[in-house]
Amino acid sequence: MMLIDCPWCGPRGHVEFTYAGDATVKRPAPDASEAAFADYVFLRDNRRGPHRELWHHTAGCRRFVEVHRNVLTHEILGTSAPEVSK
């Protein structure tokens, strides 16, 4: 079990959360090119190491949490409230 420190609820087991993917992808402006949207929808850095990602606290406060986690070791490096723009 990974312990995720929810900024609103405190440390909780990861089974309370639903994984929502890479937190660094940003939706392009509405008038951006098709290629920019294809990048946004499909392409991921998928790095082997520290990864910024979103988890939804489904069985808790139901808010999104940004988790900084090493995907090679599963070590959680920190959590924060995600930027509102997401």
Binding site for another protein (CB under 8 A): 1-2, 13-15, 19, 21-22, 34-35, 38-39, 41-48, 51, 53, 55, 71-74
**What is the nearest approach in angstroms of another protein to the Cβ of residue 77?**
14
Are 18 and 65 spatial neighbours (Cβ–Cβ below 8 Å)?
Answer: no
Question: Toward another protein, which CB reaches closer, 34 or 83?
Answer: 34
Find the angle CA(74)-CA(70)-CA(78) to the nearest 5 degrees.
95
In the complex with another protein, the residue whose CB is nearer, 48 or 84, is 48
Q: How far is the CB of 46 from another protein (least distance, A)?
A: 3
- Residues 64, 23: contact at Cβ < 8 Å? no
3-state secondary structure of 39: helix
Q: Which is nearer to another protein, 1 or 29 (CB)?
A: 1
Place of tokens 């082997």: 48
